[in-house]
Structure 1
C-alpha cells in the first residue's frame, strides 16, 4: 500500500510539477509571435525611407514628417544640342599680298612711300631711271612716223598707177577706133582699085592710073595692119598699168603692216618706260621696303630676287588654320567660326569658313582652311595668332543638361537623372545623345520646365528636396567647370 501510495503520489506529484512548465512554454511562444508582428509593422512603415527604395511616403510622413528638405541645385533643359567644334591654332594673314619687283633694271630715282604707308590702287610708289629704254621709245616713235610716211607714198603710187591704167584703157579705145577708120579706108581703096582694074581691062583708062590706085590700096592695108598692132600694144600697156596698180596697192598693204610693226615696237618700248614707274595693284599698306633711292635695281627678268616693295591688302584678312583629320568630314564652307587672338584678349571675332584645300596634308593629316574676317579699323594685323574655333555641327532639335546632372553611368543611350516632383527627388530615365564631358544631350524623357537636380550625390529616390536660391546656384556653377 505504501508503495502504491507512493507510486500514486509520485504520479500526482509529477503532474502537479509539469503543468506550470507547459504554461510557461505557451507564454514564450506568444511573446515570440508578438515580437515578429511588431518587427513586421516597423519594417512596413519605416523601412520605406531607406535609400534606393521607391515607395510612397507613409501617411505619418504626409501628416507631418520632421525630415527637413535638402537644398539642392537645380537646372532646366537648355535648348539646342551639343556643338561639335574644332579649336586649332590660327594665324592672321593679309587678304592679298604682292611683292613688287622691277621689270627693268636701273637706278632707283624716286621712292614715294615707306613702311606703314597707306596706298591706293594705281598710286605710283617708286620710279626707276633707265635712259636706254627712254631713247628706245623715242626711236620707235620715229620709226612709226617713217612707216606712216611710207604708207602715204605707197598710196600715191597707187593713185599714179591707176591713172596710167586709165590712160592705157583710153589708148586702147583710140587704137580700136583707128582700126575701124583704116578698115574703112582699105575697103574704099579695094573697091576703087577693083573698078580701075576693070576699066584697064576694057582699056578705058591707062594702066598707070590703076597702078597708082593699087598703091593707095596697099597703103590702106598697111595702115589697117598697123592700127591693129597699135590696139594690141595699147592693150598690153593697159595690162601693165593694171599690174602696176596691183603692185602699188600691195605696197600700200606692206607699208601699213610696217606701220603696225613700228607701232608695236613703240608700244613695247612705252611699256618698258611705264615699267620704270612702280604702282600699287590695290588699296593696302606697305609692309616691306628693301631699297633706298640711288640703289641699283636689277629686274626680275635679269635675276633680281629681292622685291622693291611689298603691299598687303588688310581691309579684310584671312585667318589660316588647319582642321585635323577627325573633323574634316564635318567641315563645310560657311561653318561659323570664332577667332580669339593672344594680342587682343577678351575679344571674339565672328566669321565663317570661306574656303579650304579639300585635301589633307599627308604629313600632318590636317586640311588647310581659311576664315575671312572684315578689318575696317586695321586692328587685325598680319602675323597675329590665336585660336580659331570652327562650329562643325550642332543639333537644333535636342536639348542639353550639365554632365553632372547624370546619376551614375549611361548605358545603351539611356541614363538617369533626379527630377524635383512634389518636393522630393524622383529618379527618371532619359534618352541620351552626344556627351562632350561638359554637357549631355537629352533626346527624350524630360519636359523643358522640369527641374533637374545637380547634386546627385546628395539625394536618393524619394529624398525630400527644395531648390536652392538662384544666386547660390550661380555661384556653385561658377566654381564647377562641369556646369559651364
Structure 2
C-alpha cells in the first residue's frame, strides 16, 4: 500500500516537472520571436546626392545716403546770413550761408591798385622798346649810307687810279708836262683819304647799330619784367577772388540739409580737414540710397555683381520686401570683422528709406556650389538640437552619425559634414535605432 502510494506520488511529481518545463518553454518562445523581429525591421533607404545648389545669405543691412558732404569753412570770418536750415531741399550751387570777409575785400582793392601801377609801367616799357627800335633803325640807316658812300669812294678812287696811270704814261713819253702828273697824283691821294674816312664812318655806324640793338634788348627785357609783374598781380587777384568765393557756402549737389551747426554772427575759421570739429552743414542725397550689407568670409567669395537682394525693414512690417541688385563689392575683407562690404542701390524718390535705418538683406548667390543633399525627413535632431542620421552600412547595420547642416528649404537639407555623397541612410521612420542594430533595407 505504501509502495503504490509512493509510485503515484512519483508519477505526479514527474508530471509536474514536465508541465513546468513546457510552461517555461512556452514563456521563452515569444521573447525569442520579439528579438528576431527587432533584428529584422524593414527600413526604406535614401542616398545622399551631390548637386549644384544656389545659396542664400541673410545679413543685417543699413541704409546710407547716396552722397553725403560735410560743408566746412575754407576762410575765416563772421557768418553774415544763413540761407538754409535742417530739412530744406537744396539744389547744386544753391547758397547755404554767407561769411563776411572784409579783410579779403580790402586786399583785393590793394591788388587791383597794384595791377594799375604795373600796367602803367608796362606801357612805359613798351614805349622804351619802341624808342630803342627807332634808334636801331636810325643806326642801320646810317650804316647803309656809309656803305653807299664807300661804294662811291671806291668808284672815284678807281677812276683816279686810271687817270693817274694814263697821265704817268703820257709824261714818260713827254707828251705832257710833269706838273700835270703831280696834279693827278694829288687828286688820287685825296680819293684814297676819302675812302679811308668812309671806312671809318662804316665802323662807327656798325658800333651805333650794336648799341641800338643792345638798348632794344634791354627795353624788351624791361617790358617782359613789367608784364610778368602784371601777370603775377592778376594771378593774386584771381586767388583772392577764389577765396572770396569760398565765403559763400554752396550745396555741392541736389540733396537735403540734414545737419546745421552754425548761426548768424558765429566766428568760423578755416577747417578744411574732415573730423576737425563739427561741420557747418551736412548735405545728403537721398533720391537714391545705398544699402550696405556686411557679408561674412564664408559667403563673400560667392557674391557677384547683379545678384538679387531682398530687403526687409522692421519699420515696414506690413509691406512686401523690396528687391534690388548687388551694385558693387568692396573686394576686400574688413580685418576687424572678417566681412566684405556689399552695396545695393535702391530708388528712394518718396524718401521713405531714412539713412541709418536698419533692416535685413537676403542675397541670392548666383554662384552655384556642389553640395551633399538629403531629404529633410531623413535628418533627425536631438533634444539639444544637434542633427544626426542613421547610416546603413554594407552589412545592413545601423551607424549613428552626427552631421552639420547648411541650407534648408523645408524639403531638402544641405549636409556640410558627417556624410559623403552616395552613402545610404534610413528614410523617415518612427523607431529610434541604436549603433550596430540590424535592419532589412527595402531598397538599395
TM class by smaller structure? 0.5 to 0.7
Residue 103 of structure 1 corresponds to 74
1:25-76 per-residue CA deviation (whole Å, 9 max, x = no partner) reads: xxxxxxxxxxxxxxxxxxxxxxxxxx9699xxxxxxxxxxxxxxxxxxxxxx
Residue 4 of structure 2 corresponds to none
Deviation at 1:220?
Answer: 3.5
Tell me how far apart the structure 2 counterparts of residues 393 and 402 of structure 1 sit (CA, whole Å).
23
Secondary structure, counterpart of 1:107 in structure 2 = strand
1:410-430 per-residue CA deviation (whole Å, 9 max, x = no partner) reads: 7789xxxxxxxxxxxxxxxxx
Point out where structure 2 has 5 or more consecutive residues left out of the alignment.
1-40, 45-51, 382-387, 393-404, 415-427, 431-444
Residue 133 of structure 1 corresponds to 104
Residue 277 of structure 2 corresponds to 305
Deviation at 1:359?
Answer: 2.0
Deviation at 1:243?
Answer: 3.1
- Is residue 112–residue 124 contact of structure 1 (8 Å, CA) maintained in 2? yes
1:325 aligns with 2:308: no
- Is residue 402–residue 438 contact of structure 1 (8 Å, CA) maintained in 2? no
Tell me how far apart the structure 1 counterparts of residues 188 and 216 of structure 2 sit (CA, whole Å).
42
User: 1:59-458 to 2 correspondence within 5 Å?
Assistant: 84-187=55-158, 195=167, 216-300=187-271, 305-347=277-319, 348-393=321-366, 403=376, 436-441=407-412
- Is residue 67–residue 284 contact of structure 2 (8 Å, CA) maintained in 1? yes
Deviation at 1:221?
Answer: 3.0
Deviation at 1:281?
Answer: 0.8
Say which is worse superposed, 380-389 or 346-355, in terms of deviation: 346-355
Q: State the superposition RMSD in angstroms.
A: 4.2
1:125-157 per-residue CA deviation (whole Å, 9 max, x = no partner) reads: 111111121122233334344444444443333
Secondary structure, counterpart of 1:103 in structure 2 = coil
Deviation at 1:163?
Answer: 2.7
Deviation at 1:330?
Answer: 1.9
- Is residue 77–residue 267 contact of structure 2 (8 Å, CA) maintained in 1? yes
Tell me how far apart the structure 2 counterparts of residues 442 and 291 of structure 1 sit (CA, whole Å).
59
- Equivalent residues, number: 355
Residue 430 of structure 1 corresponds to none
- Is residue 336–residue 390 contact of structure 1 (8 Å, CA) maintained in 2? yes
Say which is worse superposed, 284-293 or 185-194, in terms of deviation: 185-194
Tell me how far apart the structure 1 counterparts of residues 279 and 99 of structure 2 sit (CA, whole Å).
14
Alignment TM-score, normalising by the size of structure 1: 0.62
Identify if the C-alpha distance between structure 1 residues 128 and 166 changes in structure 2 by more than 3 Å, giving closer, same or farther: same
Alignment TM-score, normalising by the size of structure 2: 0.67
Secondary structure, counterpart of 1:319 in structure 2 = strand
Tell me how far apart the structure 2 counterparts of residues 95 and 393 of structure 1 sit (CA, whole Å).
26
- Is residue 401–residue 439 contact of structure 1 (8 Å, CA) maintained in 2? no
1:176-211 per-residue CA deviation (whole Å, 9 max, x = no partner) reads: 22223334444555666774898699697696x877
- Is residue 378–residue 389 contact of structure 2 (8 Å, CA) maintained in 1? no
- Is residue 308–residue 363 contact of structure 2 (8 Å, CA) maintained in 1? yes
Point out where structure 1 has 5 or more consecutive residues left out of the alignment.
1-50, 55-80, 414-433, 444-454, 458-484
Tell me how far apart the structure 2 counterparts of residues 182 and 326 of structure 1 sit (CA, whole Å).
107
- Is residue 43–residue 429 contact of structure 2 (8 Å, CA) maintained in 1? no
Deviation at 1:436?
Answer: 3.5
Name the structure with the higher helix share. Answer: 1
Say which is worse superposed, 98-107 or 212-221, in terms of deviation: 212-221
Tell me how far apart the structure 2 counterparts of residues 393 and 203 of structure 1 sit (CA, whole Å).
131
Tell me how far apart the structure 1 counterparts of residues 379 and 199 of structure 2 sit (CA, whole Å).
127
Identify if the C-alpha distance between structure 1 residues 442 and 200 changes in structure 2 by more than 3 Å, giving closer, same or farther: closer
Secondary structure, counterpart of 2:411 in structure 1 = strand
Residue 474 of structure 1 corresponds to none
1:382-423 per-residue CA deviation (whole Å, 9 max, x = no partner) reads: 111121222225879x9x99945999987789xxxxxxxxxx
Tell me how far apart the structure 1 counterparts of residues 348 and 429 of structure 2 sit (CA, whole Å).
48
